[in-house]
Amino acid sequence: MPTLIHAHFLAHTRLYLTFIIIILLVLAPTLPKVPPGEHLTHIQAKDFITAQTRNTPTTYYEGRQGPTGFEYELMHQFAEYLGVSLNLNAKHHPESVLSAVREQGDFGAAALPLLPDVSDVHYTRPIIQMQPLLVYRRGLHGIKAPSDLVGLEIGTLSQAGTSEALRELQRDYAGLSWKESHALDVDELLVQVESGVLDAAVIFDHQFRLNRLFFPNVERGFLMGDPLSMVWALPRGRGLGLLEAANDFLQTLQENGTLDHLVNRYFGHDDYLEYVGTRTFLTHLDARLPQFTDLFKQAARDTGFDWKLLAAVGYQESHWDAEAVSPTGVRGVMMLTHPTASEMGVDNRRDAAQSIDGGARYLRSLKDRLPESITGDDRLYMAMAAYNVGLGHLYDARKITEELGGDPNRWQDVREALPLLQQQEWHSQTRHGYARGGEPVIYVRNIRRYYEMLEYVEHSRQQFFQLGQTATSDSLLLPFELIPPLNQ
Residue type, 422: Q
- Give counts: helices (H), strands (E), the chain: 19, 14
Active site residue 219: no
Calculate the alpha carbon distances from 254 to 123, 226, 228 in Å: 17, 22, 18
Please tell me whether the peptide bond between 413 and the residue prior to it is cis, using omega within 30 degrees of 0. no
Cα 337 to Cα 343: distance, rounded to the nearest angstrom: 10
What's the rounded Cα separation, in Å, for the pair 214 and 455? Answer: 11
Counting Cβ atoms within 10 Å, is residue 170 exposed (0-12), middle (13-18) or buried (19+)? buried
- Catalytic position from the list 244, 317, 425, 452: 317
Q: Where are the extended beta strands (E) located within 142-199?
A: 154-157, 178-181
Q: What angle do CA 287, 289, 290 make, to 5 degrees?
A: 85
DSSP at 149? G
DSSP state of 91: B
Answer whether 263's CB lies under 8 Å from 128's CB. yes
Burial of 445 (0-12, 13-18, 19+ CB in 10 A): middle
Distance CA 471, CA 463 (A): 12
Which three-class secondary structure state does DSSP give residue 386? helix
Q: How many residues does the chain have?
A: 488
Check: CB of residue 216 under 8 Å from CB of residue 279.
Answer: yes
Kindly state the DSSP code that residue 274 receives in the 8-state scheme.
-
CA distances from 86 to 40, 48, 123, 470 (A): 14, 6, 20, 37
CA distances to 11, 19, 162, 409 from 24, rounded to whole Å, are 20, 9, 48, 65
Distance CA 389, CA 408 (A): 17
Helix (H, G, I), strand (E, B) or coil at 86: strand
Residue 179: φ, ψ to 5°? -120, 140
Please list the active-site residues: 317
